Amino acid sequence: MKISLSSKVPFKKAMTSFSNPLNTIKTLIAATSLVATSISFGANAELGYPEKEELKFGFIKLTDMAPIAIAYENGYFEDEGLYVTIEAQANWKVLLDGVIDGRLDGAHMLAGQPIAATIGYGTKAEIITPFSMDLNGNAITVSNEIWKEMKPNIPKMADGRPVHPIKADALKPVVEKYMDAGKPFNMGMVFPVSTHNYELRYWLAAGGIHPGFYAPHKGDTSGKIDAQALLSVTPPPQMPATLEAGTIYGYCVGEPWNQQAVFKGIGVPVVTDYEIWKNNPEKVFGITKAFAEKYPNTTIRLTRALIRAAMWLDEKSNVNRPAAVKILSQSNYVGADYEVIANSMTGTFEYEKGDVREVPDFNVFFRYNATYPYYSDAIWYLTQMRRWGQISDEQTDAWYAEVAKKVYRPDIYMAAVKSLIEEKMVPASEFSDLQGEDGYREPQTHFIDNIVYDGKKPNEYINKFTIGLKAKDKI
Amino acid sequence: MSSLIAQLITRKNESVIKAQLPPFVIHFFKTVTLPTIGILVFLLFWTVGANNIDTSLGKFPGPVQVMTQVGNLYNEHVESRAKESAFYERQDNRNQARLAKDPNYQAKTRTYTGRETFVDQIFTSLITVLSGFLVAAVIAIPLGIAIGLSKSLNTAVNPIIQIFKPVSPLAWLPLVTMVVSAVYTSTDPMFAKSFIVSMITVTLCCIWPMVINTSVGVASLNSDWVNVSKVLRLPALTHIQKIVLPASIPAIFTGMRLSLGIAWMVLIAAEMLAQNPGLGKFVWDEFQNGSSDSLSRIMTAVIVIGLIGFLLDRTMLQLQRVLSWDKTTEVR
């Protein structure tokens, strides 16, 4: 399996073929030419052949797995000499375990997964990410009954449609009613360290609804301490069915599962994560640190293929999106109907049935440096883990930065970009603003509660929230 | 009492028909017409029922939708094959190009990385169930014979068999998965882990009925034959080969048929649960997709699973007929 430039192969070959003088000469010639090529490779620092050519990547049926599907279908993986098998996974836990135990070489992951694995929340493992897969792409959907009760609390525009963004303030009276009646207000999210969990919590807390604390040091990982809304885990594709069954009253999930609820008439998406935090980082591509160290060329090459796929997806203001939707609607990828996937992927989003609004940046794969793994993005997830108690103890700002550096690997990303530019496979202009990037986005505004986030000051940020643990708090 | 009357009536009717029609017509009526009527009535109920069930994924699929999907699935298979040959062609070119640059490269043809079509999934499931079944037979039949021949061994092993027999192999599945991933480690494995896991699960559910039936068959050997063997002073192996095996073949096959039927059912469930390739995964994937075609595709799979189960059973039956010494007993 391990081929290419490793010096062991010709040596072994030489040893075994010494019996035949002709073979020996051939091997010697081959070995010499090999040494020559490897030297020239070293001198030019040109990217070598992949060490591992057959790879298996996992994904969850969500539209934001698109870069992987496109890199495969458009032959970008093959251009790098990689033969990739793509396999849908049952849920995020199975997917993560697959990457950790080596069944999968890499996967479409929730941004929180590599971070949580590295700090040892859940399964401890060193997972890194050289590539951030997309921005935005999630929404919060509530069931029809809840929507009916919420709607009177929402201000209307002149044409009678609700004013956006809809805040959780409108949901608060409903939750209180349920609490008074002694009924638990259950909502679904996809994984304890998922973007969706943090976004749903952010939205609820911004509207004064307490989503509950975790206390892993006391063995409590259900995240329901002091909760007004009880959040539980449901795999994305099963969200609509669970909502329909009445087990949960609302959920936060990626596409197409919010649009699916509209199409099936079982729920109403109330807010997209674009409105909760404009251009928030969403999925990442995760591999183990061991994989990246053992197969450095493979790592760079797969990153190159994914970058090209992301560029294709966002090319000329989404001109390729319909083609991408067609691919995603194949049953081996996302598999939902074309119309359902197209709704969000092509720049619109249907809220209440018939209330279709323009959200051109609902799914961003490349614009706004979406693919660059920013340290500040990792730190935001860490602040939310701290805010909700998944990180039990106070941590220094330096600790946050250090964890982010361990997990997010812009060095690999930039190596991939550099070699793509050198081989003239992408125009340098696309990456001009990444020159001298330090890995921290400028302090970000555009949160639904107008709180500003500065990745360099995580503790200060945590202290700004009304609901949630402060930097020094411990449950 | 009432059943007696019913019997009398049917007999009477039959005799009336017999009196009027030539025998080949009656035979035709029994073997072709009756099943056809049964199927038609079923299709009718299915169509009417399906039209009246509304789900959030649209109407429940009827026979027409299923037929359309059969066509679609076949077309997808053909398309996928075309993609596959294109894949190999590109790979060849790439290997050639690299060999030209890098003569030491040991070009290797990698298997197609595209999706498994419905047809592929059928074969995956079939191969898995048959391999698991064969492994089980290799273990269970000798074990069953040993237990059947020796009362003390039977007494010793029986409690264990009785405890494990009622356990659904699906309960074993998590344990099997973990053990296989811990034990079966190789950089270039001959079989995929998922295949091994499914196969072992099938084996686990096949073993018990086979052991029990074989041992019962062996234990209830006609004592005259055992005595003959004793008189002739047959050596142990010859005794097993000439007397025990032929005599217990009907019982062994009953066990095998029973276990193959269970194995097929369990395999589909195991594939769904463990996401291992096969028809079970196909069903689960379609369920997850939630597209407007999903239900009809699942229904197609359901029918195919049933047909294959039926064919497997018939095959075992034919084998049993061929191998059994006692051609007089009717097996069905």
Q: Which residues make Cβ contacts (< 8 Å) with residue A127, sequence separation at least 6?
A: A96, A99, A100, A109, A113, A114, A117, A118, A286, A287, A288, A289, A407
Which tokens is A96 given? 């993560």
- Interval B228-243: pLDDT, tens: 888 888 888 888 888 8
What is residue B293's predicted lDDT score, i.e. its pLDDT? 85
Under 8 Å between Cβ of A122 and A192? yes
d(CA A148, CA B310): 51
Question: Which ipTM score applies to this complex?
Answer: 0.70
- Interval B183-232: pLDDT, tens: 887 766 778 888 888 999 999 988 998 999 999 988 888 888 888 888 88
Q: Which of B105, B290, B291 sits opposite A3 (nearest CB)?
A: B105
d(CA A236, CA A71): 23
Residues of A in contact with B98 (CB under 8 A): 49, 81
Query: If you count them, how many residues does chain B have?
Result: 332
Substitution target in B104, B179, B186 with the highest count of A β-carbons within 10 Å is B104
Residues of A in contact with B56 (CB under 8 A): 240-241, 244, 264-266
Is residue A84 within 8 angstroms of chain B, CB to CB?
Answer: yes
Neighbours of B163 (CB within 10 A): 9
Chain A closest CA to B69's CA: distance in Å?
A: 13
Domain contains B149: yes
Q: B155 with B209, same domain?
A: yes
Residues of B in contact with A34 (CB under 8 A): 104
Under 8 Å between Cβ of A53 and B110? yes
Domain contains B32: yes
Under 8 Å between Cβ of A325 and A236? no
Among B52, B79, B94, identify where a domain stops.
B52
Is residue A103 within 8 angstroms of chain B, CB to CB?
Answer: yes
What is residue B15's predicted lDDT score, i.e. its pLDDT? 53
Domain contains A1: no
Domain contains A472: no
Q: Which residues make Cβ contacts (< 8 Å) with residue A240, sequence separation at least 6?
A: A257, A260, A261, A264, A266, A267, B56, B290
Residue in chain B closest to A7 (alpha carbons) equals: B104
What is residue B12's predicted lDDT score, i.e. its pLDDT? 53
Q: B161 with B13, same domain?
A: no
Is residue B186 within 8 angstroms of chain A, CB to CB?
Answer: no
Q: B6 with B108, same domain?
A: no
Bridge partners (DSSP) of residue A54 are A83
Q: B42 with B72, same domain?
A: no
Q: Which domain holds residue A24?
A: 8-44
Domain contains B57: no
Domain contains A3: no
Q: B207 with B289, same domain?
A: yes
Q: Which domain holds residue B283?
A: 63-323
Under 8 Å between Cβ of B235 and B304? no
The secondary element (H helix, E strand) that includes residue B219 is helix B193-219
Q: Which residues make Cβ contacts (< 8 Å) with residue A263, sequence separation at least 6?
A: A337, A339, A340
Residue B113: which CATH number? Answer: 1.10.3720.10
Q: B173 with B28, same domain?
A: no
Q: A26 with A72, same domain?
A: no
Domain contains B39: yes
- Residue A36 confidence (pLDDT) above 50: no
Q: A130 with A84, same domain?
A: yes
Domain contains A470: no
Q: B209 with B249, same domain?
A: yes
Residue in chain B closest to A260 (alpha carbons) equals: B290
Among A242, A276, A310, identify where a domain stops.
A276
Domain contains B330: no
Residue in chain A closest to B273 (alpha carbons) equals: A90
Q: A314 with A402, same domain?
A: yes
Domain contains B246: yes
Q: Which residues make Cβ contacts (< 8 Å) with residue A307, sequence separation at least 6?
A: A131, A371, A413, A416, A417, A420, A426
d(CA A244, CA A13): 63
- Residue A206 confidence (pLDDT) above 70: yes
- Residue A376 confidence (pLDDT) above 90: yes
Q: A260 with A352, same domain?
A: no
Q: A114 with A220, same domain?
A: no
Q: A449 with A314, same domain?
A: yes
Domain contains A455: yes
Helix axis angle, A375-387 relative to A397-407, nearest 10°? 120
- Residue A8 confidence (pLDDT) above 50: no
d(CA B140, CA B255): 10
Q: B263 with B201, same domain?
A: yes
Residues of B in contact with A78 (CB under 8 A): 90-91, 94
Domain contains A393: yes
Neighbours of B96 (CB within 10 A): 10
d(CA B18, CA B15): 5
Q: A236 with A324, same domain?
A: no
The secondary element (H helix, E strand) that includes residue A17 is none
What is residue A30's predicted lDDT score, i.e. its pLDDT? 46
Domain contains B329: no
Under 8 Å between Cβ of A59 and A303? no
Q: B155 with B261, same domain?
A: yes
- Residue A367 confidence (pLDDT) above 80: yes
- Residue A159 confidence (pLDDT) above 90: no
Chain B closest CA to A140's CA: distance in Å?
A: 19
Q: B10 with B101, same domain?
A: no
- Interval A177-189: pLDDT, tens: 999 999 999 999 9
Question: Is B233 in a helix, a strand, or coil?
Answer: coil
- Residue B80 confidence (pLDDT) above 80: yes
Q: A208 with A262, same domain?
A: yes
DSSP summary character for residue B42: H
Q: B11 with B129, same domain?
A: no
What is residue B13's predicted lDDT score, i.e. its pLDDT? 54
Mean pLDDT for chain A overall = 86
Q: A264 with A300, same domain?
A: no
What is residue A307's predicted lDDT score, i.e. its pLDDT? 95
Domain contains A85: yes
Q: How many domains does chain A have?
A: 3
- Residue A22 confidence (pLDDT) above 70: no
Residue A76: which CATH number? Answer: 3.40.190.10
Per cent of chain B over pLDDT 90 is 27
Q: A246 with A289, same domain?
A: no
Q: A332 with A432, same domain?
A: yes
Which tokens is A48 given? 């070598």
Per-residue confidence at B6, pLDDT binned at 50, 70, 90? low
Q: B287 with B309, same domain?
A: yes
Domain contains A169: yes
Domain contains B212: yes
Is residue A33 within 8 angstroms of chain B, CB to CB?
Answer: yes
Q: A180 with A114, same domain?
A: no
Per-residue confidence at B111, pLDDT binned at 50, 70, 90? confident
Higher pLDDT, B37 or B292: B37
Mean pLDDT of A29-57: 60
- Residue B132 confidence (pLDDT) above 90: yes
Pairing of strands A54-59, A83-88: parallel
